[in-house]
């Protein structure tokens, strides 16, 4: 909220405070009562918008960034395991489809990262039996799926918290 917006809000609050303090005089005048009712309604709307603008979403964004980094690290680890399996099995297509680098994953948008991880999860599930020697088991896939879901849940959080008034 800019200084000018704060000043306008303070001015409107001052007028509202003045009218509240002189309510006995205002109640004797029907047009003044109507104006006060409109001012009170406008003030409620302004306070709701003011509260939304003062909502700090930085904490949500930081949490999303941490979950994104954790998801990227898990993706790299599981990608390495399936690529090792594909190399031994001489399956070039499986290797090519599931080989990811950190820079490639970092360049993906949040939605594309979520989709890429979901695709890798499907490949991991389809090849789970062959991934046992590489230290990947069903519990790892469950953890990975939970990490994908947790990240996907946070993708819209900053926008959602901005759009929903908390006052």
Residues 38-48 pLDDT 10s: 888 877 777 77
Q: Give the phi and the psi of residue 28 in degrees, each rounded to 5.
A: -85, -10
Distance CA 79, CA 100 (A): 6
Burial 41-73 (b: 16+ CB within 10 A, else e): eebeeeeeebebeebeeeebeeebeebbeebbe
pLDDT higher than 80, residue 128: yes
Distance CA 55, CA 74 (A): 32
pLDDT higher than 60, residue 104: yes
Distance CA 103, CA 106 (A): 5
Distance CA 124, CA 121 (A): 5
> Are the C-beta atoms of 145 and 74 separated by less than 8 Å?
no
Ordered alpha helix ranges (H), 55-137 = 58-88, 92-98, 102-107, 110-126, 128-131
> Are the C-beta atoms of 60 and 158 separated by less than 8 Å?
yes
Q: Does the predicted TM-score (pTM) go above 0.75?
A: no
* Stretch among 24-38, 99-113, 126-140 having the lowest mean pLDDT: 24-38
- Averaged over 85-100, what is the pLDDT? 93
Lookup: tokens for 51 = 């509260």
């Amino acid at each position: 909220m800019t200084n000018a917006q704060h000043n306008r809000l303070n001015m409107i609050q001052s007028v509202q405070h003045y009218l509240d303090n002189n309510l006995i005089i205002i109640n004797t005048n029907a047009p003044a009562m109507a104006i006060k009712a409109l001012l009170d309604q406008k003030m409620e709307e302004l306070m709701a918008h003011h509260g939304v603008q003062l909502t700090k979403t930085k904490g949500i964004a930081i949490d999303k960034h941490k979950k994104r980094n954790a998801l990227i690290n898990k993706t790299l680890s599981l990608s390495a395991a399936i690529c090792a399996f594909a190399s031994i099995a001489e399956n070039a297509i499986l290797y090519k489809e599931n080989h990811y680098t950190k820079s490639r994953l970092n360049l993906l948008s949040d939605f594309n990262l979520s989709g890429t991880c979901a695709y890798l999860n499907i490949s991991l599930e389809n090849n789970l039996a062959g991934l046992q020697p590489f230290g990947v088991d069903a519990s790892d896939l469950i953890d990975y799926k939970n990490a994908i879901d947790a990240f996907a849940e946070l993708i819209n959080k900053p926008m959602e918290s901005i759009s929903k008034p908390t006052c």
